[in-house]
Chain A
Amino acid sequence: GDSVTQMEGPVTLSEEAFLTINCTYTATGYPSLFWYVQYPGEGLQLLLKATKADDKGSNKGFEATYRKETTSFHLEKGSVQVSDSAVYFCALSTMDSNYQLIWGAGTKLIIKP
């Protein structure tokens, strides 16, 4: 079945470092891909999305490009801040999943000042 695999955390970086959080997927058909973020003590919120191959989603300085050839949707940010500390979830949806979200396990990001 469809699935999402994220790199294990926690990922610990210093402020202003470059961030990559890897996400790969397995899906039949043509999934839509998402990154959600969960700040401490809060629910998840949509960070960015891409609905077709080569689309780039972006928000708050974060970017991710839908790569069909490598079945990947890696999250990147050029210069992280302490306020980016959170758990990041990659997710997909397809027609086969009735467009319900299939979630990765989440990657905890810790940014040190």
Chain B
Amino acid sequence: NAGVTQTPKFRILKIGQSMTLQCTQDMNHNYMYWYRQDPGMGLKLIYYSVGAGITDKGEVPNGYNVSRSTTEDFPLRLELAAPSQTSVYFCASSYSPNIQYFGAGTRLSVL
């Protein structure tokens, strides 16, 4: 019962560095999402995908990129890390858009 798996759990980046946040789901869900959660705030949608090969921007896509080459994987790429990207990142998947299953999150600090 792995569900949605995110790696790494924690990461510290220097300004300008790049990294990829990994997300894998084993539920054969078509829909996948990336959110960020800033302290004391709700979730903001970064990107989402409705199936392999299809991605679309959410509310706050600037500074991020995604790809969806398989149903299982939906990595999030930060190309030039900035302090404003310090946040907790959640990946989620679903068989319908409403009932989403979340990973445990990646806590990212950009210093």
Seen from chain A, the residues whose Cβ lies within 8 Å of a Cβ on chain B are: 32, 34, 41-46, 49, 89, 93, 98-101, 103-106
Known A100-B97, A101-B98; further 12 A-B contacts with Cβ < 8 A:
A43-B4, A43-B103, A44-B90, A44-B92, A46-B99, A49-B99, A98-B97, A99-B98, A101-B100, A104-B42, A105-B41, A106-B42
Chain A residues, Cβ within 8 Å of B92 = 43-44
Query: CB-CB < 8 A to A105: which residues of B?
Result: 40-42
CB of A100 within 8 A of CB of B102, answer no
Q: Lowest 3 CB-CB distances: which A-B pairs, in order?
A: A43-B102, A99-B97, A105-B42
B108 contacts chain A at the CB level, 8 A cutoff? no
Q: Which residues of B contact A46 (CB under 8 A)?
A: 99-100
Are B42 and A100 interface neighbours, CB within 8 A?
A: no
* Cross-chain contact A100 with B104 (CB below 8 angstroms): no
Number of residue pairs A-B, CB distance < 8 angstroms: 47
How far apart are the CA atoms of A34 and B98 in the complex, in Å? 8
Task: Pick the most buried of B90, B97, B103: most chain A CB atoms within 10 A of its CB.
Answer: B97
Q: Is the CB of A93 within 8 A of B98?
A: yes
Does B45 interact with chain A (Cβ within 8 Å)?
A: yes
- Nearest Cβ in chain A — how far from B45, in angstroms? 7
Q: Does B96 make an interface contact (CB < 8 A)?
A: yes
With A43-B4, A100-B45 known to touch, is A93 a contact of B102 (CB < 8 Å)?
A: no
- B105 x A43 contact (CB < 8 A): yes
